Amino acid sequence: MNCIERTGKPPLVLFVHGYCQSCAYWVPTVDRIAQQGGHGIAVDLPGFADSANLPGPYTMEAFADGLVGLLDARKIDRAVIVGGSMGGVVAQQFALRHPDRVERLLLVATGAYSADPKAALAKAESLSGSPWDEAAVRPIVQGFFHTPPSTTRISELLAIAGMASLQVAIEAARSNAATNTLARLSQIKVPTLIIQGRHDRARTVAHGEEMQTAITGARLEVLENSGHTPQLEEPDAFHALALPFLIPGL
């Protein structure tokens, strides 16, 4: 799968993007890790952005297993896993399915389940009868932010969203809507940091609190001026929390 990589000292920090996003949402964080001498990779999941032509299945479990293949190809046994939004669901699946491959876990703007699974499934099904165009992806992209970025930046993110295949848009939405990891999160034993945006309408602070309760020793931080993409909306505050956790000692 396509990725952006900055080499440096271990451990590898592996970043997983959300629905209709790409590695571009994590490149600023990868660059900050590299500036401190760390090793970071941000991927385009199969079906999205520059990995749009890769085959499925486009499920949370298959995405997680595919990331293991990426580590295997680099002969890396363990990594720090970071996931935002849907990527946070993938990260949870990674930690649950491959616990021996995870060193630390950062969950951003995510939750253990969809707030309204029936509505999310209905929305996924509705995509099959509609054009997959800018009008379809615009409300998705706009929903990522509490304070909208510039028109130019929104145009860039709309183009990224539109690169996703319609098949992955439907299948990933179905899988994300149907996933509920809450009862299994107690199995996660690695250090875990959860960062939520106060104004996130999709994955709320309450979702973060539930994950914090379920994962022994997990820490929850809330960024007060962010929506669904705190790493982009409050980058300095986000990285002040995230970088010491991701690469302690560097």
DSSP string, 209-248: HHHHHHSTT-EEEEETT-SS-HHHHSHHHHHHHHHHHHST
pLDDT category, 120, cuts 50, 70, 90? confident
Task: Give the global pTM.
Answer: 0.96
Please determine, for residue 192, whether its predicted confidence score (pLDDT) is greater than 90: yes
Point out the catalytic residue in the list 17, 146, 199, 228. 228
Query: Residue 215's domain is classified under what CATH number?
Result: 3.40.50.1820
228 has catalytic annotation: yes
- Peptide linkage before 28 cis (omega within 30 of 0): no
Domain count, the chain: 1
d(CA 90, CA 62) in angstroms, rounded, equals: 9
Q: Which two tokens stand for residue 81?
A: 């896993």
pLDDT in tens, 28-58: 999 999 999 999 999 999 999 999 999 999 9
Which of these is catalytic: 146, 200, 207, 226?
Answer: 200
Which residue is listed with tokens 């000292």? 9
Q: Which of 223, 190, 210 is nearest to 80 (CA)?
A: 190
* Residue 200 designated active-site: yes
pLDDT > 70 in the chain, percent: 100
Which H or E run includes 92?
Answer: helix 86-97
Is residue 85 part of the annotated active site? The answer reads: yes
What is the distance between the alpha carbons of residues 123 and 24, in angstroms, rounded to a whole number?
A: 25
pLDDT digits (tens, 9 = 90+) for 5-29: 999 999 999 999 999 999 999 999 9
User: Listing from the earlier edge strand, what are the strands of the sheet with 3-6?
Assistant: 3-6, 38-43, 9-16, 79-84, 102-108, 192-197, 219-223
The reported pLDDT for the residue numbered 160 is 97
From the candidates 17, 22, 44, 85, give the one annotated as an active-site residue: 85
Domain that holds residue 189: 3-246
Q: Averaged over 114-121, what is the pLDDT?
A: 84
